[in-house]
């Protein structure tokens, strides 16, 4: 298969290699089926995989996941690991919404029992969970409190009474990135974040009530507390305006760093600085602080969702049985230990629109899941399904412990809006059996099901490649869009 002058070589049914070309320090690898590759080559994401391979200190290969599509600098669905001594950190390899991620809440409720109350629940969640551009949260942070959020992440929410110790335990990194420094976050970023904690945001962020329709792995599903016919809550949000500003601030600094140090790359959106440089260290400290903000944000959203369920259903916490399965981010750069060329090395893994997928036995996942692997969540679009998976050993061998983070766009937001003129998206969704609430018609039009790839095909690639295995399938019942 060719992409202009690029020749792909098929490594396996689900893996393709792009050989090293001019300036590339490593090959590229894309996880996809042959049918999916026909779509992937239509946008600039393949070129971006090749561009990332030019970054100083990159190790082994530049990676594209099956949900890959065009992004800023790195493709969305891109993974790259860097040598900590010679390598660089690039904000384009993390994205604007730092530590955007998903969390899943399980319950003891049968989905069928909720159907008569869905409209009421959706209206209550729409009212209680702030969403949309410029939304503000129910928690008013003082400047001192915000500093604690940036330093402590989920630990701050527990101290403030919005999280249990179990919530903290079942959050990636226990909800706190090491090395966070609030002083590395600009005053503008802090101002943007001060009143947005506990808000869903806009775009593809969501809060869903889903039904577990299928279970593929009984042991892992039992470990995660999932069963067929169960009602669960899925939350997708990130670091809001604070994270966006951290990225914006850093791109300016790093463009100047590249000019001073004569670093030449094929795309200026790959602005970067060496990991050990003052600029690199400052960005990583600010990134960790923004990641902590995102963990706290999702925890507050989960807290509010639980409170809403309790109020509307007039149930007690034991009747509800709603607890956190896991929370994992998918826009990050993290120091991790991986085997490279037969030996363990500490590397910096960029994951942009890609999530961690650690296998059974990993000491970095909760003890309750070490026999089955880390929970992995791959949301689809609001009209079909989402999947719960568990990390597999292949992810450590092939992708630095990573897998994809969703279905991936196949249509731009502009194209999606143009395609739905004259249609009522909410009515279309209701015909599919899904209730939808959204603060903006524009957002809803951008998020139509047709705008996304087939999530089942994406998940089949991940499963087939041995990055993560299928555990359960979720079907949306009611969706609050950002």
Instruction: Tell me which residues are annotated as active site.
Output: 405
- CB–CB of 450/425 below 8 Å? no
- On whether the CB atoms of residues 61 and 53 are closer than 8 A, the answer is yes
372 three-class SS: coil
* CA-closest candidate to residue 119, choices 459, 426, 334: 426
Q: 3-class secondary structure for 142-209?
A: CHHHHHHHHHHCHHHHHHCCCCCHHHHHCEHHHHCCCCCCHHHCCHHHHHHHCCCCCCCCCCCCEEEE
For 379, the 3-state DSSP assignment is coil
Q: How many residues does the chain have?
A: 482
Tokens of 456: 């089942």
Q: Tokens 């599509």 map to which residue?
A: 69
Structure tokens at 255: 């463009």
Q: How many CB atoms neighbour CB 363 within 10 A?
A: 7
d(C-alpha 307, C-alpha 365), whole Å: 27
Q: Are 479 and 437 in contact (CB under 8 A)?
A: yes
Q: Report the DSSP pairing between strands 88-89 and 101-106.
A: unpaired
Provide the token pair at 160.
């403030």
Torsion angles phi and psi, residue 326, rounded to 5: -170, 160
CB neighbours (10 Å) of residue 20?
14
* Residues 81-98: b if buried by 16+ CB within 10 A, e if exposed: bbbbeebbbbbbbbbbbb
């Amino acid at each position: 298969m060719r992409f202009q002058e690029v020749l792909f070589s098929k490594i396996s049914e689900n893996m393709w290699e792009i050989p090293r070309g001019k300036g590339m320090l490593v090959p590229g690898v894309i996880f996809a089926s042959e049918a999916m590759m026909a779509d992937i080559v239509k946008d600039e994401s393949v070129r971006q995989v090749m561009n990332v391979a030019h970054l100083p200190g990159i190790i082994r290969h530049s990676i594209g996941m099956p949900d890959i599509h065009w992004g800023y600098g790195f493709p969305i669905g891109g993974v790259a690991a860097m040598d900590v001594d010679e390598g660089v950190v690039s904000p384009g390899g993390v994205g604007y919404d730092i530590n955007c991620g998903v969390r899943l809440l399980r319950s003891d409720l049968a989905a069928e029992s909720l159907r008569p109350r869905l409209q009421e629940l959706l209206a209550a969640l729409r009212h209680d969970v702030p969403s949309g551009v410029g939304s503000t949260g129910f928690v008013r942070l003082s400047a001192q409190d915000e500093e604690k959020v940036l330093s402590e992440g989920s630990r701050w929410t527990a101290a403030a009474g919005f999280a249990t110790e179990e919530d903290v335990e079942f959050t990636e990194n226990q909800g706190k990135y090491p090395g966070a420094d609030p002083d590395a976050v600009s005053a503008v970023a802090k101002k943007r974040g001060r009143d947005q904690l506990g808000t869903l945001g806009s775009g593809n962020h969501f809060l869903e009530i889903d039904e577990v329709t299928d279970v593929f792995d009984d042991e892992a599903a039992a470990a995660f507390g999932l069963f067929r016919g169960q009602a669960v809550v899925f939350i997708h949000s990130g670091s809001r305006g604070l994270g966006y500003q951290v990225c914006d601030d850093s791109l300016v600094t790093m463009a100047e760093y590249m000019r001073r140090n004569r670093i030449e790359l094929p795309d200026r959106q790959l602005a970067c600085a060496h990991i050990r440089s003052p600029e690199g260290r400052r960005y990583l400290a600010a990134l960790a602080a923004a990641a902590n903000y995102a963990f706290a944000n999702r925890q507050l959203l989960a807290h509010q969702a639980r409170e809403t369920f309790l109020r509307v259903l007039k149930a007690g916490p034991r009747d509800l049985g709603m607890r956190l399965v896991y929370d994992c981010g998918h826009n990050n750069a993290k120091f991790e230990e991986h085997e490279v060329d037969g030996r363990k090395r500490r590397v910096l893994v960029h994951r942009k629109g890609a999530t961690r997928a650690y296998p059974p036995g990993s000491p970095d996942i909760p003890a309750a899941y070490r026999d089955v692997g880390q929970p992995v969540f791959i949301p689809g679009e609001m009209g079909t399904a989402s999947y719960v998976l568990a990390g597999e050993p292949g992810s450590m061998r092939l992708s630095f412990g990573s897998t994809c983070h969703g279905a991936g766009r196949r249509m731009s937001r502009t194209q999606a809006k143009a395609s739905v003129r004259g249609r009522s998206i909410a009515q279309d969704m209701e015909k599919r059996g899904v209730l939808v609430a959204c603060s903006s018609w524009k957002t809803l039009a951008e998020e139509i099901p047709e705008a996304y790839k087939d999530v089942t095909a994406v998940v089949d690639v991940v499963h087939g490649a041995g990055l993560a295995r299928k555990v359960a399938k979720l079907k949306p019942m009611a969706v609050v869009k950002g």
